[in-house]
Amino acid sequence: MRLHTLIRFFQGCRPGIILLLLTLLFLYAYELAGAAGEECRTQSYQDKIPCYKQVFERIIQTQGTEQALDTLQQLASVDPDVRRESHPYAHHIGRFTASHYRDVTLAFTHCKDTFASGCYHGVLEGYLSAFTQLEPSHVSSVCSGKMDPQRSVFLKFLCVHGLGHGLTMYFHHDLFKALTFCDALPTARDQEICYAGVFMENIVTFIGRDHAAHSTHAAYLDPHNLLYPCTVVDRRYQQACYLMQSSAILPLTNYDFPRAFRECDKAPPDLIATCYQSMGRDASGFALTNPEKTRTLCLMGRQDYIGQCFSGAAKDAIYVHADPQRGIALCRIADGPYKADCYTGVRDFLVDFYADQKKQDQACRMVEEAYQSICRGMPRARR
């Protein structure tokens, strides 16, 4: 019996009975996750992947996407293989969610921000896979549907970014073709976000096991030229490319951060700062958003660009946890010369993802007094 059916059945009961029911349902769901772990956990790494995917699909069909994501969270806490591949698993949950609900906007309402928002990415992949012959008109307005008004800006970002992922997979990882479809989006801002999704999926395909297994087109990375494909794509795509490229450089250098920073130093002069922001994002991820560890990694870069690393890291810490205080915690321990850039990263996130000025101001009140003016800076012009 589905959860919403049970709740309707007990709507006439006293509050205490409802609370007991929900507690029992939670315990049942937790036990289900444990059973799923027993079913798949002892299998080989390659066999685990389809096994866990089937578990998530069954949960979506019977209990909904939210429970599938909760189960993924529980399994990731006990199985290192699940934890390592949690983002691809979240993608799969999103793809199945798209086919289950058959409506992008409705499917989005069932996803969560967990696992770097992989569920949202997967929804767009699922949407696109339904077309036998994709046309630019099919993507130009797909992310313009009605969203939760309290999170509309953030959800719009996730939708457009996920579209870039989906286009790359749809065209069998021909990133050049995927980028041209991003050009069909109505604003330059949406196009940039879509480009970043394309480059991110390209990297995930090359580096990740599960994604690469389904690719029929060569991924565009070169272990002998760590800035590729940024060096060959059209100029209008380079900003987004360099904003993702450290996610390719670091695995290909076995996470040698000093060397990776030196590769960023080879970028065109006006894009070095962008590459350092990318390094900041990945330093934050590598450190599991731990502020002290992130700070140590950023300080390995070239002195005049270290502030950009802190900026990118602050944005990532907020994005991963959907909590501005995570980025502010990093900026508090950033070395003096780099604090302004770090708090600029916090400001940019708040401006881009929180339409409510009160929420922006509330977050900025937690910032060191000397830097609150940066946090409360005038919003950048929207394109």
CA dihedral 297, 279, 266, 235 (to 10 degrees): -170
Helices 336-353, 152-170: crossing angle, 10 deg rounding: 90
* Angle, CA of 158, 162 and 165, to the nearest 5°: 155
Confidence at residue 383, expressed as pLDDT on a 0 to 100 scale: 34
Q: What is the largest CA-CA distance in the chain?
A: 67
What's the CA dihedral at 281, 285, 290, 291 to 10 degrees? -10
Residue 269 identity (one-letter amino acid):
P
Evaluate whether 183 touches 191 at the Cβ level (below 8 Å): yes
pLDDT digits (tens, 9 = 90+) for 63-90: 999 999 999 999 988 888 888 888 889 9
Tokens of 346: 């916090």
CA-CA distances (angstroms) from residue 351 to 1, 260, 344, 345, 347?
43, 30, 10, 10, 6
Q: Where are the domains of the chain?
A: 1-27, 89-220, 223-383
pLDDT of residue 345: 97
- What is the Cα gyration radius of the chain? 21
One-character DSSP codes across 29-42: HHHHHHHHHHHHHT
**What is the pLDDT tens value at each position of the chain, 383 positions in all?**
444 444 444 455 555 555 555 455 544 544 554 555 677 988 888 888 999 999 999 999 999 999 999 999 999 888 888 888 888 899 999 999 999 998 888 898 899 888 878 899 899 989 998 899 999 999 998 888 766 655 677 788 888 998 998 999 899 889 999 999 999 999 999 999 999 999 998 998 887 654 444 444 556 899 999 999 999 999 999 999 999 999 999 999 999 999 999 999 999 999 999 999 999 999 999 999 999 999 999 999 999 999 999 999 999 999 888 789 999 999 999 999 999 999 999 999 888 777 778 888 999 999 999 999 999 985 443 33
